[in-house]
Structure 1
Amino acid sequence: MARLGLSPRSSLQRACVSLVRAYLQFALRTTRWTFYVTPEAFPLLIGRNGTNGIMAFWHEILPATPVLCLWAKNASPSLRVKVLISRNRDGRMIADIIAPWGIGTIAGSSDTRGKNKGGAAAFRQMRKALLAGEQVVMTPDGPRGPRRMAQPGMAALAAAVRKPVVPVGAYYSGLQLNSWDKMVIPLPFGKGRFVCGNPIEIGKNNPDGTGLLAETLTQQMREATDGPDTTTDAYHVFRWAMPSQSIAPSKIWACVATLIAPSLPFLLRSRQRQGKELPDRVREKMGFPSRARPKGKLVWFHAASVGEVLSILPLITAWLEKDAGSTALVTTGSVTGARIVAQYQANHAASAHLIHQFVPLDVPRWGKRFLDYWSPHAAVFTESELWPNLIGQCRAHQIPVALVNGRMSASSFKAWQKAPRIAKRLMASFSWIAPRSEADAGHFKALGCNGLEPTGDIKAYAQPLPVNEQSLKALQRHIGQRPVFLAASTHSGEDETILQAAALARKTVPELLTLIVPRHPERGADISALASGAPRRSLNEWPQGSHTLWICDTLGELGLFYTLATCAFIGNSLLSAQNGGGG
């Protein structure tokens, strides 16, 4: 079948296709994929011994189609795969995007409202392909839904050719669109998994087989998508990386950031409504300054959030004491980090020479705006803050860059190894890196860093979390002698486990008071509802004698709660934590 293409007259469309294809390739290639495949499904997926069938997955994971197909082709190079794609404009673009990967397409979708959408022709082509031993990949809920509801077309095709259907579920790090199918666009350097369940077949003597298959397929695909128990022996486990396709990752990174830049203000507005951004300072994330630049030497220190800020404040203090005439520009990515800087400024005389701004998002134009205005003499990043565009802009502005307390976990190291050119270019942008440990030093060196300084964890010299003494005394009077269990910086998915643990602990210590401090305070209402209306500190509600839980959904008070605690749990450390971001 000839590849469907966009009009050659539209250079803009061709450029968009190339850019989207390059982004998908980069995102999918840098994702760590794991396949969980039942023994019955495996020979069908790879076409072993001439077997084949229909691979079914929901429309929302359509961008991950190449991974499934290329994984199967990698196991069986002679395998031929066809993907059913709608005949509309979006479908034609998808066909153009995946064509260079050797994945065939069949155009068509169910005819509706008397309109011929190529459904009958597509049915014949898929039937022919299946009978010829090719694999067919379909989305049974496409092209317009209902979402996650298998339509009868796939069941009818399976019945016509007597071929089994393999239900496929997938999950990967990505951004969910507000479309009918809630499509998930993959993000680079994430994790992804495919779950391939047992094949479903229509009984030869079952007249209701088509309807039964649609119902069974809907149920099993939902189970495969929503998190089956993959720890059992029911699955073979395969870990796989999508092969390289000769892209220029640093350029792609910049192009992708530029492409999505128009949508980022909407993301910032959404975060603002959730309390994750300060309304009067949100433009700083786009590189616009909110303070005047003082004259003279200015050194830029960047720390992501609370932990990094606390670790770098002694370094900033030492710098300002050594060069009293200079200015320290401190940037953070989070509101909580900004509050720690504000508390430091309130308690240190040297803060007159310290300015806080939020770091711009990693968009080339925004980073250039930031650097053009502040014109720092040097930049100091902390731990794992490796932003290719922003650091590349520093190189373009001839600003020396250092990384202190450099952290490179084993998982991050493996992710960067999948993009060696961008990693080497990034490492070359640093004047020097002071790793946190010998293991981190080894990872940085393997990625191409030559300017390594002695190792050492500067967090050992970090100042204690700030504590408001008046608030501490008031809480001590109110709580009295009750023992306090603190669950600090918790993430979504951990609350249920914490509540269960607290209930068990109260059987031994009945007077125990549990404090839950969510990493993102806007979750306070949800946690309170989960805990049967537990009091919330953000509403100035105090725990009474009968209360066993207190939701402390405020910012900048973690030091206060640690001081009160008898014992503590650090969040983002349970397997159930969703979308972590530091403890």
Structure 2
Amino acid sequence: MRLLYSLAWWLALPLVLCRLWLRGRQEPGYRRHLAERFGFYAPRPAAPLLWVHAVSVGETRAAEPLIDALLAAYPRHAILLTHMTPTGRATGQALYGKHGERLRQSYLPYDTGWMVGRFLRHFRPAICILMETEVWPNVMAQCRRHEVPVALVNARLSARSLAKARRLSALMTEAARAMSCVAAQTEADAERLRSLGAPHVAVTGSVKFDVTPPQAAIDKGLAMRAQIGGRPVFLCASTREGEEGLILDAWKKTDAAEALLLIVPRHPQRFDEVARMVEERGFALARRSAMGDRPVAADVQVLLGDSMGEMFAYYAACDLAFIGGSLLPLGGQNLIEACAVGKPVLIGPHTFNFAAVSDDAVAAGAAMRIEDADVLAREARRLLADEGRRTAMGGKALAFARQHRGATERTMVLLRKLVRHSQD
């Protein structure tokens, strides 16, 4: 089965390259570092390497407490941080550039045995640490062949993803069995991973709870808020395709003239598209990228968050946050960062990728689930007008974030055994 899978990859490569080049029209980063996607790299660092794979922005941000812990625990080692998307790579540079030579970034090659094998022979990592869900059959097989222990950490697997994996059971079961250990976010995630054949599964919680909002980002958010002025700010964070139109249409129906709607699309290639949506509906628009140090004009109704690496700042600047990806059946996004800044949270009905943490946040009073965009706009309007209720929800959100910390250290207990074993 894996031979057929590899053959399919080789046959699809021309189409993959065409798609990569086309995506590069909107996001030039897709056309950079192309050699790395085929297993060709600059000389490796002299230090022994701990390899962490974080596919895109969310996983890269989530890895921050774990990477800090690894660098502290292994001062003679460097981190090799790999990605699949240029936005993930840019986020990594913004977060980890401070580590200098101790952290090297690269793209993971396409999942063919030859390319992955070349990657492993070049970097010779002491361990492979995969963030969340990124399991590739040939990566797993080549790690086993080159005796590189593999840990899947902050692991999550929804019921929907499990059903998809079972349709490729011959491939995914082999990949799951090649893992040395799994650090799952919840017991439900752990059970699903065990059912695929993953050995040594432990429940450690989510390392995202251990992310500390950087003071510099909070200060930037407060400065942004000062530019906005005293009117209420409703943030729609990490919105996905199809959601912005629903939100704007619903917002237009509400009497929210004194409030500012702040929209931050998840994917930067959609910034201009969302700006057009706003203007087509007759809203007065300002863009974060053009603000500079100037105040936001009083007649601006929608502020577009068209910047990278400022999510904590956006949370600090708002009064209330909606977490995107949840109005439509897209699985939702991480609400922990909003809670960590002490902001009340609204989420839609579709949070299957973050089911446990979303349900727990609602149960704790930190978040409220809404049915659709019209209800979202109405509830946002009510909360923005009720400071006491917002303050109470924000306090519960902060308490919720704090009480779930500690996953990083529990994960490190598992990783220390693998790193020690790999050095024996």
**TM-score, normalised with respect to structure 2:** 0.71
Matching of residue 563 in structure 1 with residue 316 in structure 2: yes
RMSD: 2.4
1:136-171 Cα offsets, whole Å, 9 max, x none, are xxxxxxxxxxxxxxxxxxxxxxxxxxxxxxxxxxxx
Q: d(CA) in 1 for partners of 2:32 and 2:172? A: 36
Deviation at 1:252, TM superposition (A): 1.9
1:287-337 Cα offsets, whole Å, 9 max, x none, are 332x43112311100112233223222222222112211111011223332
Change (3 A) 1:255 1:549: same
- Give the letter for the 1:310 counterpart: R
- Give the letter for the 1:440 counterpart: D
Q: d(CA) in 1 for partners of 2:199 and 2:38? A: 32
Matching of residue 326 in structure 1 with residue 73 in structure 2: no
Change (3 A) 1:434 1:394: same
Deviation at 1:368, TM superposition (A): 2.5
Q: d(CA) in 2 for partners of 1:573 and 1:469? A: 25
Give the match for residue 159 of structure 1: none
Give the match for residue 253 of structure 1: 5
- Give the letter for the 2:191 counterpart: G
SS of 2:104's equivalent? strand
- Give the letter for the 2:309 counterpart: G
- Give the letter for the 2:270 counterpart: R
Give the match for residue 301 of structure 2: 548
Q: d(CA) in 2 for partners of 1:270 and 1:463? A: 37
- Aligned pairs for 1:51-450 (under 5 A) are 248=1, 250-275=2-27, 277=29, 279-289=31-41, 291-347=42-98, 350-450=99-199
Q: d(CA) in 1 for partners of 2:218 and 2:66? A: 26
1:101-155 Cα offsets, whole Å, 9 max, x none, are xxxxxxxxxxxxxxxxxxxxxxxxxxxxxxxxxxxxxxxxxxxxxxxxxxxxxxx
Give the match for residue 274 of structure 2: 527
Deviation at 1:471, TM superposition (A): 4.3
Change (3 A) 1:295 1:494: same
Moved more, 308-317 or 540-549: 540-549
Moved more, 566-575 or 354-363: 354-363
Moved more, 455-464 or 488-497: 455-464
Change (3 A) 1:396 1:464: same
For the pair shown, the structure with the greater C-alpha radius of gyration is: 1
What 5-or-longer segments of structure 1 have no aligned partner?
Answer: 1-247
Q: d(CA) in 2 for partners of 1:513 and 1:259? A: 50
Structure 1 runs of 4+ with >3 Å offset: 465-474, 538-543, 580-583
Asked whether the equivalents of residues 91 and 308 of structure 2 are also in contact (C-alpha less than 8 Å), the reply is no
Q: d(CA) in 2 for partners of 1:439 and 1:284? A: 36
Q: d(CA) in 1 for partners of 2:253 and 2:332? A: 28
Asked whether the equivalents of residues 182 and 201 of structure 2 are also in contact (C-alpha less than 8 Å), the reply is yes
Deviation at 1:375, TM superposition (A): 1.6
Matching of residue 480 in structure 1 with residue 229 in structure 2: yes
- Give the letter for the 1:519 counterpart: R
Q: d(CA) in 2 for partners of 1:522 and 1:265? A: 18
Q: d(CA) in 2 for partners of 1:526 and 1:564? A: 24
Deviation at 1:404, TM superposition (A): 0.8
Asked whether the equivalents of residues 258 and 363 of structure 1 are also in contact (C-alpha less than 8 Å), the reply is yes
Deviation at 1:279, TM superposition (A): 4.0
Q: d(CA) in 1 for partners of 2:174 and 2:135? A: 12
Q: d(CA) in 1 for partners of 2:147 and 2:221? A: 47
Percent of residue pairs identical: 33
Q: Which has the higher helix share?
A: 2
Matching of residue 572 in structure 1 with residue 325 in structure 2: yes
Change (3 A) 1:279 1:262: closer
Deviation at 1:378, TM superposition (A): 1.1
Asked whether the equivalents of residues 152 and 179 of structure 2 are also in contact (C-alpha less than 8 Å), the reply is yes
SS of 1:488's equivalent? strand
Change (3 A) 1:416 1:280: closer
Give the match for residue 104 of structure 1: none
Change (3 A) 1:270 1:582: farther
Q: d(CA) in 1 for partners of 2:137 and 2:28? A: 24
Q: d(CA) in 2 for partners of 1:516 and 1:284? A: 34
1:504-546 Cα offsets, whole Å, 9 max, x none, are 44x1x42111111111122222222221262333455874211
Asked whether the equivalents of residues 276 and 520 of structure 1 are also in contact (C-alpha less than 8 Å), the reply is no
Q: Which has the higher contact order (CA 8 A, sep 6+)?
A: 2
Asked whether the equivalents of residues 467 and 559 of structure 1 are also in contact (C-alpha less than 8 Å), the reply is no
- Give the letter for the 2:5 counterpart: W
1:546-575 Cα offsets, whole Å, 9 max, x none, are 110011222112121111011111111122
Q: d(CA) in 2 for partners of 1:272 and 1:582? A: 25
Q: d(CA) in 1 for partners of 2:20 and 2:198? A: 34
Deviation at 1:396, TM superposition (A): 2.2
Q: How many residues align?
A: 328
SS of 2:297's equivalent? coil
Find 2:261's aligned residue among 514, 528, 535: 514
Q: d(CA) in 2 for partners of 1:372 and 1:265? A: 24
- Aligned pairs for 1:45-56 (under 5 A) are none
What 5-or-longer segments of structure 2 have no aligned partner?
Answer: 335-424
Change (3 A) 1:358 1:538: farther
Deviation at 1:399, TM superposition (A): 1.2
1:407-449 Cα offsets, whole Å, 9 max, x none, are 1110111122223222221111111111111111111111112
Q: d(CA) in 1 for partners of 2:332 and 2:119? A: 25
Asked whether the equivalents of residues 257 and 364 of structure 1 are also in contact (C-alpha less than 8 Å), the reply is no
Q: d(CA) in 2 for partners of 1:411 and 1:465? A: 34
Asked whether the equivalents of residues 403 and 432 of structure 1 are also in contact (C-alpha less than 8 Å), the reply is yes
1:184-207 Cα offsets, whole Å, 9 max, x none, are xxxxxxxxxxxxxxxxxxxxxxxx
Matching of residue 537 in structure 1 with residue 277 in structure 2: no
Change (3 A) 1:582 1:261: farther
Asked whether the equivalents of residues 305 and 333 of structure 1 are also in contact (C-alpha less than 8 Å), the reply is yes
Asked whether the equivalents of residues 344 and 351 of structure 1 are also in contact (C-alpha less than 8 Å), the reply is no
Change (3 A) 1:279 1:256: closer
Q: d(CA) in 2 for partners of 1:257 and 1:545? A: 53
Change (3 A) 1:316 1:474: closer
Asked whether the equivalents of residues 438 and 455 of structure 1 are also in contact (C-alpha less than 8 Å), the reply is no
- Give the letter for the 2:77 counterpart: S
Asked whether the equivalents of residues 126 and 149 of structure 2 are also in contact (C-alpha less than 8 Å), the reply is yes
